[in-house]
Each structure stands twice: as structure tokens, then as C-alpha cells.
Amino acid sequence: MRVAYLTVSLLAIGLTVRAQTPPQSIAHARDGRTVATLQSIDVVPLVNAPFSAEVSTEWTTILADGTGATVWNMRTIARDSTGRIFQERRFFSPDGNTVQPALRSLEYADPNRHEFYNCIVAEKTCYLTKYVRPALQAMPAGIGGLELCACASPQNAGVTITHEALGQKTVENLEATGSREITTLAAGKFGNEKAQPVVKEFWYSPQLGLNLITKRFDPRSGVQNFVVAKLSLNEPDANLFQPPAEYQVVRQVVERSGIPRAAH
């Protein structure tokens, strides 16, 4: 009888100890994140071709299960007759096609003063660097000319590029020239097991030196569509090209060419 009582007592003590043992803790250091940057409509410093417009961007990434996730934004861009450029940069949002997302930054490029201001809204600070992209009196002609203004895709090793003419159509009351560019990335170019195509379609306005519509498919980043709308060819308000007076200006030594570089 005593043995049975002792066994029951020890079992009860064991259960009590087990119940009082704290759960195993979960701990880790702070995690990083993936940040994607999207370069959409490229505005060159072309003189005597003023405009203002709204650019809408639709970006669909392909998820692991094959479905898509789409975000949008809408932003203002402008250029005056001297080649000065203003661009808003806004965050993306799942409802960014109906509700304008918050401002991230304001950009001001002046090819005459060789100045580029990148004004971060959250900091109320403008970072000033040198802008060395020269003002253009006219857009270079042909594919060779596009390479001169860094408008064509770079011809790198392991890359094959073909072009196809798509004819003419009217976009925002301007004549636009269509073309398709197919870039084939060889196997192993970005860790890919087999060759992959990157397809881009452009509807280009010679008058503005601007792609009014751009459609991209890239296996690395998904589907991206850019459309210029609400286009005005009137001279924009000169105040649009002045950084906010209440922002602090920080001068930086880094030179900015204004020409987007290919990512590797």
C-alpha cells in the first residue's frame, strides 16, 4: 500500500514539475528585407519640347503558385523648354489605380546648371548632386542614336537582342511609333537553368522623345505596364521645377549621370 502511494506521489510531482516548465523561447536577430526599384518612363533633357503628364504604372509579380499580385501608382512628370525635368516618385499600392499613393520623393534635373535634386518627403531634405547628362537639341536617330542617349538595351555578353517594327498609331493625340524588343538571356546569365526572354513593347513619340506606352515582361520581375496620360504640351509652371523652399539642402559629392545603368 505504501509503495503504491509513493508511486502515485512521485507521478504527481513529475506532472507538477512538467507543468511549471516554461515553454521554449523563440528568438532571432532582426531580419532583412528585399527592396525592388522600378525605373519606368525615362525623361531625357530635350529642349523646346515642353510637356506635363501623368504616368500610371501597373506592376504584376508572379507568385510561387503561378498567380499574380498587382500594384499600381500614378505620378506627375514634366519638362520645360530649357530641358529641365520634374518627376514625382510615389509608393505602390494594391488600390493605386483609384487612390493616389503617398509621395516618396520629388526629383528635379537641370541640364543647364548641371544639378540634380532628390528631395525625400519623409525627411524634408533635398540631396543635391551633379547632373552631367547634357541638354539635347534633338533626339538621336536610329538604334545607334538610341545607344548614344542610353535609350537602347545594352549589348552584353550572353545576351541576344532582336527588334520588330509595329507601325504607327495615335496616343494622346500624338503620332507614336511602335516597336518590340526581345532580349534573350542565355542560360546561367542570372542563375537561370535555361534561356529566358525579356519582351518590351514601346510606343514612342518622336516629337517629345518619350515612350508614351511601355510594356515589359521580364521573368525576373514580372509584367510592367507604363502609360502616359493627361498629356499637355503647354509650357509647365516654372515653380514646378523649384525644390520645396522649406526643405533642407544637403550637397553630395557623388556625380549622377542621369543615365540608368543596367542591373547585373
Are the C-beta atoms of 56 and 41 separated by less than 8 Å?
no
Give the DSSP letter of residue 156.
-
Going edge to edge, which strands form the sheet with 103-110?
Answer: 159-171, 174-185, 196-205, 210-218, 222-232, 51-62, 68-79, 85-90, 103-110, 115-120, 125-131, 248-256
Q: Whose CA is closest to 180, among 214, 154, 147?
A: 214
Compute the distance between CA of residue 67 and CA of residue 207 in angstroms, rounded to an integer. Answer: 39
User: How confident is the model at residue 11, as a pLDDT?
Assistant: 46
Q: How far is CA 79 from the centre of its chain?
A: 19
User: How confident is the model at residue 263, as a pLDDT?
Assistant: 38
Dihedral sign computed on CA atoms, order 129, 115, 76, 208: negative
User: How confident is the model at residue 259, as a pLDDT?
Assistant: 53
Report in angstroms the alpha-carbon separations of 51 from 67, 80, 118, 252.
38, 7, 21, 29
Residues 137-195: tens digit of each pLDDT: 998 877 667 766 767 777 777 788 899 999 999 999 999 999 999 999 888 888 889 99
User: How confident is the model at residue 146, as a pLDDT?
Assistant: 72
Which cell numbers hold the place of 118? 532628390
0.85 cut: is pTM over it? no
DSSP H helical segments within the chain, as ranges? 2-20, 142-148
Residues 208-256: tens digit of each pLDDT: 999 999 999 998 889 999 999 999 999 999 999 999 999 999 998 765 5
Compute the distance between CA of residue 242 and CA of residue 117 in angstroms, rounded to an integer. Answer: 9
User: How confident is the model at residue 136, as a pLDDT?
Assistant: 92
**CATH match of 51-256 with 2.50.20:** yes
State the CB neighbour count (10 A cutoff) for residue 29: 5
Domain ranges of the chain: 51-256
Q: Whose CA is closest to 221, among 71, 44, 31?
A: 71
Which cell numbers hold the place of 122? 519623409
Compute the distance between CA of residue 111 and CA of residue 236 in angstroms, rounded to an integer. Answer: 17
- Cα angle, residue 160 at apex, residues 154 and 166 outer, rounded to 5°: 85
Q: Look at residue 75 and give its three-state secondary structure.
A: strand
